Protein backbone atom coordinates (compact mmCIF):
# COMPACT_ATOMS: atom_id res chain seq x y z
CA UNK A 1 0.00 0.00 0.00
CA UNK A 2 1.05 3.60 -0.51
CA UNK A 3 1.25 5.62 2.71
CA UNK A 4 -0.33 9.08 2.48
CA UNK A 5 -1.36 9.90 6.07
CA UNK A 6 0.62 9.34 9.26
CA UNK A 7 -0.56 9.38 12.87
CA UNK A 8 1.99 10.17 15.58
CA UNK A 9 1.20 9.19 19.17
CA UNK A 10 3.12 11.39 21.61
CA UNK A 11 4.20 15.00 21.14
CA UNK A 12 7.45 14.87 23.09
CA UNK A 13 11.01 15.23 21.82
CA UNK A 14 10.76 12.25 19.46
CA UNK A 15 7.11 12.64 18.48
CA UNK A 16 7.37 16.26 17.38
CA UNK A 17 10.51 15.43 15.40
CA UNK A 18 8.73 12.58 13.62
CA UNK A 19 5.75 14.84 12.81
CA UNK A 20 8.20 17.46 11.49
CA UNK A 21 10.01 15.16 9.04
CA UNK A 22 6.82 13.40 7.91
CA UNK A 23 5.06 16.68 7.08
CA UNK A 24 8.14 18.04 5.33
CA UNK A 25 8.22 14.89 3.17
CA UNK A 26 4.63 15.48 2.05
CA UNK A 27 2.61 13.26 4.40
CA UNK A 28 -0.56 14.47 6.11
CA UNK A 29 0.17 14.20 9.84
CA UNK A 30 -2.16 13.86 12.82
CA UNK A 31 -0.28 14.22 16.11
CA UNK A 32 -1.88 13.28 19.42
CA UNK A 33 -0.99 13.57 23.09
CA UNK A 34 -2.94 13.36 26.33
CA UNK A 35 -1.83 16.92 27.09
CA UNK A 36 -3.04 19.91 25.04
CA UNK A 37 -0.12 21.90 26.46
CA UNK A 38 2.30 19.28 25.12
CA UNK A 39 0.73 19.60 21.66
CA UNK A 40 1.05 23.39 21.78
CA UNK A 41 4.69 23.11 22.86
CA UNK A 42 5.33 20.57 20.09
CA UNK A 43 3.95 22.89 17.41
CA UNK A 44 6.15 25.72 18.70
CA UNK A 45 9.18 23.42 18.57
CA UNK A 46 8.35 22.23 15.06
CA UNK A 47 7.83 25.81 13.86
CA UNK A 48 11.12 26.92 15.41
CA UNK A 49 13.02 23.99 13.88
CA UNK A 50 11.50 24.61 10.44
CA UNK A 51 12.38 28.31 10.72
CA UNK A 52 15.96 27.31 11.52
CA UNK A 53 16.05 25.12 8.40
CA UNK A 54 14.82 28.05 6.32
CA UNK A 55 17.46 30.38 7.80
CA UNK A 56 20.15 27.83 6.93
CA UNK A 57 18.70 27.45 3.41
CA UNK A 58 18.00 23.75 3.94
CA UNK A 59 14.37 24.30 2.91
CA UNK A 60 12.36 27.16 1.38
CA UNK A 61 9.77 29.30 3.17
CA UNK A 62 7.07 27.66 1.01
CA UNK A 63 8.23 24.20 2.09
CA UNK A 64 8.05 25.30 5.73
CA UNK A 65 4.54 26.71 5.30
CA UNK A 66 3.30 23.63 3.44
CA UNK A 67 4.73 21.34 6.14
CA UNK A 68 2.98 23.28 8.91
CA UNK A 69 -0.29 23.15 6.96
CA UNK A 70 -0.03 19.35 6.83
CA UNK A 71 0.15 18.92 10.63
CA UNK A 72 -3.02 18.65 12.69
CA UNK A 73 -3.17 17.84 16.40
CA UNK A 74 -5.71 16.28 18.72
CA UNK A 75 -6.03 15.00 22.29
CA UNK A 76 -8.43 12.28 21.09
CA UNK A 77 -6.52 9.11 20.24
CA UNK A 78 -9.32 7.68 18.09
CA UNK A 79 -8.90 10.57 15.62
CA UNK A 80 -5.84 8.72 14.29
CA UNK A 81 -7.94 5.73 13.24
CA UNK A 82 -8.13 6.62 9.54
CA UNK A 83 -4.37 7.09 9.11
CA UNK A 84 -2.48 4.73 6.80
CA UNK A 85 0.48 4.49 9.18
CA UNK A 86 0.60 5.08 12.93
CA UNK A 87 3.89 5.62 14.78
CA UNK A 88 3.64 5.27 18.55
CA UNK A 89 6.23 7.44 20.29
CA UNK A 90 5.09 7.46 23.89
CA UNK A 91 7.22 6.93 26.98
CA UNK A 92 9.51 3.87 27.00
CA UNK A 93 7.21 1.72 29.16
CA UNK A 94 5.67 -1.39 27.69
CA UNK A 95 2.41 -1.15 29.65
CA UNK A 96 1.83 2.37 28.34
CA UNK A 97 2.48 1.30 24.75
CA UNK A 98 0.18 -1.73 25.05
CA UNK A 99 -2.62 0.43 26.42
CA UNK A 100 -2.26 2.87 23.51
CA UNK A 101 -2.51 0.12 20.90
CA UNK A 102 -5.49 -1.51 22.67
CA UNK A 103 -7.31 1.85 22.67
CA UNK A 104 -6.51 2.41 18.99
CA UNK A 105 -7.60 -0.98 17.65
CA UNK A 106 -11.39 -0.43 17.45
CA UNK A 107 -10.90 2.71 15.35
CA UNK A 108 -8.40 1.48 12.73
CA UNK A 109 -9.03 0.65 9.09
CA UNK A 110 -8.13 -2.94 8.09
CA UNK A 111 -5.12 -1.63 6.13
CA UNK A 112 -3.61 0.58 8.85
CA UNK A 113 0.01 -0.26 9.68
CA UNK A 114 0.97 0.02 13.36
CA UNK A 115 4.55 0.80 14.36
CA UNK A 116 6.44 1.71 17.51
CA UNK A 117 9.37 4.08 17.91
CA UNK A 118 10.53 2.00 20.88
CA UNK A 119 14.28 1.94 21.37
CA UNK A 120 14.41 -1.46 23.07
CA UNK A 121 11.08 -3.24 23.72
CA UNK A 122 10.16 -6.47 21.90
CA UNK A 123 8.28 -5.74 18.67
CA UNK A 124 6.96 -9.31 18.56
CA UNK A 125 5.48 -8.96 22.05
CA UNK A 126 3.89 -5.57 21.33
CA UNK A 127 2.47 -6.90 18.03
CA UNK A 128 0.98 -9.97 19.72
CA UNK A 129 -1.31 -7.72 21.76
CA UNK A 130 -2.92 -6.30 18.61
CA UNK A 131 -5.27 -7.71 15.95
CA UNK A 132 -2.65 -7.27 13.19
CA UNK A 133 0.78 -8.65 14.13
CA UNK A 134 1.58 -9.04 10.42
CA UNK A 135 1.04 -5.27 9.98
CA UNK A 136 3.18 -4.26 12.95
CA UNK A 137 6.86 -3.39 13.12
CA UNK A 138 9.47 -1.26 14.84
CA UNK A 139 10.13 2.19 13.34
CA UNK A 140 12.98 3.56 15.46
CA UNK A 141 14.16 7.10 14.71
CA UNK A 142 17.35 8.58 16.13
CA UNK A 143 17.35 11.78 18.20
CA UNK A 144 17.15 14.58 17.06
CA UNK A 145 14.87 13.26 14.33
CA UNK A 146 15.20 16.15 11.82
CA UNK A 147 19.00 15.87 11.90
CA UNK A 148 19.86 12.17 12.25
CA UNK A 149 19.85 10.23 8.97
CA UNK A 150 19.23 6.70 10.33
CA UNK A 151 16.01 4.78 10.99
CA UNK A 152 16.07 1.26 12.41
CA UNK A 153 13.35 -0.95 10.91
CA UNK A 154 12.61 -3.95 13.11
CA UNK A 155 10.43 -6.84 11.98
CA UNK A 156 8.50 -8.83 14.56
CA UNK A 157 8.28 -12.56 14.03
CA UNK A 158 4.94 -12.10 12.22
CA UNK A 159 5.68 -8.92 10.20
CA UNK A 160 4.86 -9.53 6.53
CA UNK A 161 6.84 -8.35 3.50
CA UNK A 162 4.29 -5.75 2.23
CA UNK A 163 4.40 -4.03 5.64
CA UNK A 164 8.19 -3.93 5.61
CA UNK A 165 8.29 -2.60 2.05
CA UNK A 166 5.71 0.11 2.82
CA UNK A 167 7.72 1.30 5.84
CA UNK A 168 10.98 1.14 3.90
CA UNK A 169 9.41 3.33 1.20
CA UNK A 170 8.51 5.90 3.86
CA UNK A 171 12.10 5.98 5.12
CA UNK A 172 13.33 6.47 1.55
CA UNK A 173 10.86 9.32 0.97
CA UNK A 174 12.10 11.01 4.14
CA UNK A 175 15.60 11.01 2.64
CA UNK A 176 16.87 8.86 5.49
CA UNK A 177 18.68 5.52 5.51
CA UNK A 178 17.12 2.34 6.89
CA UNK A 179 19.05 -0.24 8.88
CA UNK A 180 17.22 -3.53 9.25
CA UNK A 181 17.49 -5.01 12.74
CA UNK A 182 16.32 -8.30 14.18
CA UNK A 183 13.90 -8.23 17.11
CA UNK A 184 16.29 -8.74 20.01
CA UNK A 185 16.59 -6.45 23.05
CA UNK A 186 17.64 -2.87 22.13
CA UNK A 187 18.15 -3.80 18.44
CA UNK A 188 21.44 -2.48 16.96
CA UNK A 189 22.17 1.10 17.99
CA UNK A 190 21.18 0.88 21.65
CA UNK A 191 22.57 -2.64 22.04
CA UNK A 192 25.98 -1.08 21.40
CA UNK A 193 25.50 2.49 22.66
CA UNK A 194 23.81 1.94 26.03
CA UNK A 195 26.40 -0.45 27.49
CA UNK A 196 29.05 2.14 26.56
CA UNK A 197 27.11 4.85 28.42
CA UNK A 198 26.53 2.48 31.34
CA UNK A 199 30.26 1.72 31.47
CA UNK A 200 31.00 5.45 31.51
CA UNK A 201 28.69 5.76 34.54
CA UNK A 202 30.55 2.85 36.20
CA UNK A 203 33.82 4.68 35.47
CA UNK A 204 32.40 7.70 37.29
CA UNK A 205 30.91 5.55 40.09
CA UNK A 206 34.25 3.82 40.75
CA UNK A 207 36.17 7.11 40.78
CA UNK A 208 38.31 6.39 37.74
CA UNK A 209 37.50 9.88 36.45
CA UNK A 210 35.10 12.72 37.08
CA UNK A 211 32.33 13.80 34.70
CA UNK A 212 34.49 16.34 32.88
CA UNK A 213 37.49 14.04 32.43
CA UNK A 214 35.39 11.10 31.19
CA UNK A 215 33.61 13.19 28.58
CA UNK A 216 36.79 15.00 27.54
CA UNK A 217 38.65 11.68 27.18
CA UNK A 218 36.01 10.20 24.87
CA UNK A 219 35.60 13.35 22.77
CA UNK A 220 39.30 13.95 22.26
CA UNK A 221 40.52 10.35 22.53
CA UNK A 222 37.95 8.64 20.29
CA UNK A 223 36.61 11.62 18.30
CA UNK A 224 33.05 11.32 19.65
CA UNK A 225 31.05 14.54 19.07
CA UNK A 226 29.60 14.29 22.59
CA UNK A 227 30.96 12.62 25.69
CA UNK A 228 28.99 9.59 26.95
CA UNK A 229 27.71 11.35 30.09
CA UNK A 230 26.73 14.46 28.12
CA UNK A 231 24.97 12.18 25.64
CA UNK A 232 23.18 10.34 28.45
CA UNK A 233 21.82 13.67 29.72
CA UNK A 234 20.67 14.51 26.19
CA UNK A 235 18.88 11.16 25.78
CA UNK A 236 17.40 11.19 29.30
CA UNK A 237 18.79 9.12 32.16
CA UNK A 238 15.41 7.46 32.71
CA UNK A 239 15.44 6.27 29.09
CA UNK A 240 19.03 5.00 29.45
CA UNK A 241 18.08 3.09 32.60
CA UNK A 242 14.96 1.63 30.97
CA UNK A 243 16.98 0.34 28.02
CA UNK A 244 19.66 -1.15 30.29
CA UNK A 245 16.94 -2.93 32.25
CA UNK A 246 15.50 -4.34 29.00
CA UNK A 247 18.97 -5.60 28.03
CA UNK A 248 19.63 -7.06 31.48
CA UNK A 249 16.22 -8.75 31.74
CA UNK A 250 16.06 -9.89 28.12
CA UNK A 251 19.59 -11.28 27.77
CA UNK A 252 20.23 -12.36 31.39
CA UNK A 253 23.89 -11.32 31.22
CA UNK A 254 25.52 -9.46 34.11
CA UNK A 255 27.47 -7.29 31.69
CA UNK A 256 24.22 -5.38 31.14
CA UNK A 257 23.61 -4.69 34.87
CA UNK A 258 22.65 -0.99 35.20
CA UNK A 259 25.16 1.00 37.23
CA UNK A 260 23.76 1.79 40.73
CA UNK A 261 24.75 5.43 40.22
CA UNK A 262 22.55 5.64 37.11
CA UNK A 263 19.66 4.24 39.15
CA UNK A 264 20.36 6.76 41.94
CA UNK A 265 20.26 9.73 39.56
CA UNK A 266 16.92 8.57 38.16
CA UNK A 267 15.55 8.05 41.68
CA UNK A 268 16.56 11.64 42.49
CA UNK A 269 14.68 12.91 39.42
CA UNK A 270 17.96 14.07 37.89
CA UNK A 271 17.10 12.90 34.39
CA UNK A 272 19.39 15.13 32.34
CA UNK A 273 18.56 18.13 30.19
CA UNK A 274 14.78 17.69 30.41
CA UNK A 275 14.85 18.06 34.22
CA UNK A 276 17.71 20.60 34.24
CA UNK A 277 19.99 18.26 36.21
CA UNK A 278 21.75 15.02 35.43
CA UNK A 279 25.47 14.44 35.14
CA UNK A 280 25.52 18.17 34.44
CA UNK A 281 23.53 20.99 36.05
CA UNK A 282 21.85 23.03 33.30
CA UNK A 283 20.24 25.71 35.46
CA UNK A 284 22.93 28.31 34.75
CA UNK A 285 24.32 29.80 31.57
CA UNK A 286 26.93 27.01 31.25
CA UNK A 287 26.41 23.31 32.14
CA UNK A 288 28.32 22.41 35.33
CA UNK A 289 29.34 18.80 36.17
CA UNK A 290 27.49 17.41 39.21
CA UNK A 291 30.33 15.05 40.18
Summarised one tens digit per residue, pLDDT across range 118-164 is 999 999 999 999 999 999 999 999 999 999 999 999 999 999 999 99
pLDDT tens digit string along 190-241?
A: 999 999 999 999 999 999 999 999 999 999 999 999 999 999 999 999 999 9
Cβ-contact 85, 8 below 8 angstroms: no
Binding-site members for NAD(+) are: 10-15, 33, 92, 97, 119, 143, 274
Enter the pTM of the model. 0.91
Cβ-contact 53, 145 below 8 angstroms: no
Cβ-contact 289, 232 below 8 angstroms: no
| Residue 209 to residue 247: CA distance in whole angstroms | 26
Q: CA angle, 98 as apex, 93 and 100 as ends, to 5°?
A: 100
Q: Which residues contact 266 (CB under 8 A, 6 or more apart)?
A: 237, 238, 241
Q: What is the mean pLDDT of residues 13-30?
A: 97
Q: Which residues contact 4 (CB under 8 A, 6 or more apart)?
A: 27, 28, 84
Cβ-contact 163, 135 below 8 angstroms: yes
DSSP strands (E only) in 142-246:
150-155, 177-181
Query: Rounded to the nearest 5°, which phi and psi values hold at 153?
Result: -105, 120
- Residue 92 in this model has a pLDDT that exceeds 90: no
Which sequence positions are flagged as catalytic?
119, 140, 152, 190
| Residue 121 to residue 57: CA distance in whole angstroms | 38
Query: Rounded to the nearest 5°, which phi and psi values hold at 5?
Result: -125, 140
CA atoms within 13 A on the CB side of 290: 22
H/E run at residue 64: helix 61-69
**pLDDT recorded at residue 136:** 98
| Residue 223 to residue 77: CA distance in whole angstroms | 43
- Residue 37 in this model has a pLDDT that exceeds 80: yes
Amino acid sequence: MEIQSVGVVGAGQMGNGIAHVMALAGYDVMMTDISADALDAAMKTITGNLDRQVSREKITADERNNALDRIASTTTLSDLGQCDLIIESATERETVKQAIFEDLLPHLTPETILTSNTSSISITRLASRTDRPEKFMGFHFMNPVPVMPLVELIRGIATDEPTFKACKAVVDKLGKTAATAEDFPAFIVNRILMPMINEAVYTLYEGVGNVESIDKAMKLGTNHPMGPLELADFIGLDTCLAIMNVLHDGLADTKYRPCPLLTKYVEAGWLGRKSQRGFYDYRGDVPVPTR
